[in-house]
Structures are given as C-alpha cells and as structure tokens.
Structure 1
Amino acid sequence: MRLKVILPDQILVDEEVKGVVAEAEDGSLGLLPKHIDFVTALVPGIIAFQSAEGEEFLAVDGGILVKCAADVLISTRKAVRSRDLGGLSRTVQEEFEALDEGERKTRSILAKLEADFTRHFLEMRLSG
C-alpha cells in the first residue's frame, strides 16, 4: 500500500507501507492494503505507519484521509515526521511555541495597523 502525505508546500511522505493507524473524528482507525475505500476527516494527533525501516510517526494538525485502492492519501496543513515518538512530542512542542511567537508578532502588528487606521480616520473626521 502506498502512503502519500501532502502538505501545502511539499510531499512529506511518498512510500510503500504495510499499514497506517490514524485518528479520525469518530475514533481511531487502522488501514491495511485490502481495507475498503473511504474518505474521513482527521483530527490533530499522531499517525503511525509501518515503513520498510520500521514503525514511524507523524504529528498532524488534522486533515483529510482518502483510502482508494492501494493508496492512502493524507492532506494536511502541517505535519512533523519522526521514528521516535518521544522526540516527536518535543519537536511538536517546539513547533507550537514558534507558532505562538509568530501569532503574537502578527497580533501586535495588526493592533498597530488598527490603531493607525483609527487615528487617521478620527483626524479626517475632525478636520472635515
């Protein structure tokens, strides 16, 4: 069975696997090569799969999983791959901290833009 994990800017995984375990909105699911075809929404969590090198893990922030014939396609906005589940947890934590810092900076910039817009609007109103 072929697993393909697609991110907005890259293909993270594209290889043969023996099985996939993922977390959908209605619970955990296991996929083997002869599993029926279907589509499901994934929740943020861990996807486990058996590659040629052994068990590997992906942390995903949700997405869509499509099982079609011998292909398992996963589309997600963000994912991190690792063979070490503990290390994956640390990496995900670091990623979230970086995202949080980026969000703080973005919110600060937006607040300044809103304040400038409001100030200019009031100046125009007072002068007119």
Structure 2
Amino acid sequence: MPSMTLRVLLPFEVFAHEQGVTSIVVETAQGSFGLLPQRLDCVAALVPGILSFETASQGEVFLAVDEGVLVKTGPSVVISARRALRGDDLSRLRDAVEQEFLTLDAQEEAMRTEMARLETGFMRRFVSMRDGPS
C-alpha cells in the first residue's frame, strides 16, 4: 500500500517526522482538505486548527497546528507552521487552538495596531519638525 512521509517544521525544530502515513487531513480557510498518497502535488495555506494523520502502527494521530503552509511533492508532505501541539484528547487540542493560537493572534494584531499608531505619531512629529520655523 502506498504511503507518505510527513514532516512538521516549526521555526526552531522539526516537530514531527512520520513515515508510512496513509492519509492526512488539514484545515484551510476554505475548509478541511484531505491528502492521500496518490494525490497530485499541491500547496495549501493552513489556518489554526486540528491536523490528523493516519499510520498503520499508530492509527489516527491529532496535532493542533497554528497557521502555516503545506507542500506535497510526490510521497513527501512538509508542513511549516509557527506552533504545534500533539495530544490524544481531541477536545483539549481544540481548546488549545482556541485559547493559545487564536488568543496570541489577537494579541499580535493589537501589537501591530499599537505599532502603527506609534509610527504614525512619529511621522507627524517628524513632519512638523521639518515644516517648522526656518
């Protein structure tokens, strides 16, 4: 039976390297996306959610994955994400996605908004200094 190799890469480590993967299901902005070994090569943008994959030895395995990118080339599937968690309890993983990943995204958005406000204020002061009395 054909199988795939799955690697989940985080910014500073290889989170998972699985051989003999028979199917993968990920979440995208358009909904769930399934991969089988014979599927054509593809690229998909991932949203925070639950990734599941199946192997003969482990059965179905669940990972909570933050936003990232999936690239399938031949039998190799590489997922690059900012954060990931592994767990057996699906409801706890779903809670982790909602609490950790989405909360951090909201905090990052608030930080970006504040930085934009500070940059705008700096630019206003800079322009007023330049246009001031000569």
Structure 1 unaligned spans of 5+: none
Distance 1:112 1:26, change over 3 A: closer
Q: CA RMSD in A?
A: 2.7
**Shift in alpha-carbon separation, 1:15–1:109, aligned structure 2, 3 A:** same
- Corresponding residue of 2:70: 64
| Superposed structure 1 runs of 4+ greater than 6 Å apart | none
CA shift at 1:17, angstroms? 4.2
Q: Tell me the percent identity.
A: 25
2:102 matched to 1:99? no
Q: Matched residue pairs, number?
A: 125
Does residue 46 (structure 1) correspond to residue 50 (structure 2)? The answer is: yes
Q: Any unmatched runs of 5+ in structure 2?
A: none
Inter-partner Cα distance in structure 2 for 1:4 and 1:13: 5
Give me the TM-score of the superposition, normalised by structure 1: 0.73
Paired residues of 2:8 and 2:15 also in contact (CA < 8 A): yes
Which range is displaced more, 16-25 or 3-12?
A: 16-25
In the TM superposition, 1:1-128 aligns within 5 A as: 1-23=4-26, 28-32=33-37, 35-36=38-39, 38-44=41-47, 45-51=49-55, 52-60=57-65, 61-69=67-75, 71-95=76-100, 96-128=102-134
Normalized against structure 2, the TM-score is what? 0.71
Return the letter of the residue paired with 1:47. L
